[in-house]
Amino acid sequence: MRQKLVAGNWKMHGGLKTNQQLLQDVVAGVAGLRNVAVAVCVPFPYLAQTQAVLSGTPVAWGAQNLSEQAQGAFTGEVSASMLQDFACRYVLVGHSERRAIYGETDSLVAEKFAAALASGLRPVLCVGETLEQRDAGKTLEVVFAQIDAVLARVGVAAFSGAVVAYEPVWAIGTGRTATSAQAQEVHAAIRAKLAKLDAGVAEGLQILYGGSVKPGNAVELFSMPDIDGGLIGGASLVASDFLAICAAAEK
């Protein structure tokens, strides 16, 4: 039985004052939850604050990006070991906004995935197709190519230390959610692809769905057999919504 995971992606939102309240509300709200793992991925400057509030609570934390480099003259970058200094458990890699806006390629994402693993972080590998690609019938081709780049770099066994998030680009921040059937189809295909290489790794892999998950659609999405929780953007900024989604993962 895979444990469900609900991870918030705050993106470039927050401030010291509002974070404090949000983090405290999340900690208070997850107290009654037993079967779901909860995490928040926050902007780099707030890792210290997040660590201070969440240490000793059931809520884990992480970052939204990292450098593929270990250290050196890479102005503006943040390394995996720096994230380790703040006891991060997770780090997003290959979020569609990083791919689309900052030009991250499949091979760069694979390097970042490897760097995260090498430092003991759990990379959350984000994959997903654009609307154009879906309409052209290329969803699995695109998603599989994104995964193949990582497989080629680290091998299938490495996925036992990772999480995959299927996030159709057309559903992120748009209010348009994939139907539970559309998401399940892709999740099952990802698991089947990995199962051909290692059945045990595939069976244990948490595959999250992301893209306009809200309290109103979370129960149905999370009831699908291959959807192991969610990566939550906008709704993770509102404690009551995020907590309702976490509660939906317990059902």
The residue within the footprint of ligand PEP, chosen from 14, 62, 123, 211 (CB under 6 A), is 211
The residue within the footprint of ligand PEP, chosen from 39, 166, 234, 247 (CB under 6 A), is 234
Q: Check residue 9 for interaction with ligand PEP (CB under 6 A).
A: yes
Measured from each CB, the residue nearest to ligand PEP is 233
Residue placing its CB nearer to ligand PEP in the complex, 10 or 86: 10
Q: Check residue 233 for interaction with ligand PEP (CB under 6 A).
A: yes
Q: Which two tokens stand for residue 16?
A: 């010291």
CA distance 241 to 237: 8
Q: Which of residues 10-29 bind ligand PEP (CB under 6 A)?
A: 11
Give catalytic status of residue 187 as yes or no: no
Where are the extended beta strands (E) located within the chain? Answer: 4-9, 36-41, 59-63, 90-93, 122-127, 163-166, 206-210, 229-232
Asked whether 113 and 91 are in contact (CB, 8 A), the reply is no
What kind and span of H or E run contains 190?
A: helix 180-195
Piece of 12-20, 51-59, 197-205, 226-234 that binds ligand PEP (CB under 6 A): 226-234
Active-site choice (68, 104, 167, 187) = 167
The residue within the footprint of ligand PEP, chosen from 104, 106, 111, 167 (CB under 6 A), is 167
Residue placing its CB nearer to ligand PEP in the complex, 23 or 213: 213
Q: Check residue 210 for interaction with ligand PEP (CB under 6 A).
A: yes
* Integer angstrom CA distances of residue 144 from 67, 90, 241: 23, 22, 32
Neighbours of 160 (CB within 10 A): 12
Interhelix angle 47-54/16-30, nearest 10 degrees: 30
Neighbours of 116 (CB within 10 A): 28
Active-site choice (68, 95, 97, 187) = 95
* Integer angstrom CA distances of residue 41 from 54, 103, 237: 12, 21, 11
Q: Check residue 173 for interaction with ligand PEP (CB under 6 A).
A: yes
Residue placing its CB nearer to ligand PEP in the complex, 156 or 236: 236
Transcribe 43-112 into DSSP letters. Answer: -GGGHHHHHHHHTTSSEEEEES---SSSSSS-TT---HHHHHHTT--EEEES-HHHHHHH---HHHHHHH
Piece of 115-123, 136-144, 188-196, 225-233 that binds ligand PEP (CB under 6 A): 225-233
The least distance separating ligand PEP from the CB of residue 196, rounded to whole angstroms, comes to: 27
The residue within the footprint of ligand PEP, chosen from 19, 67, 139, 212 (CB under 6 A), is 212
* Binding residues for ligand PEP (CB under 6 A): 9, 11, 167, 172-173, 210-213, 231-235
Catalytic residues: 95, 167
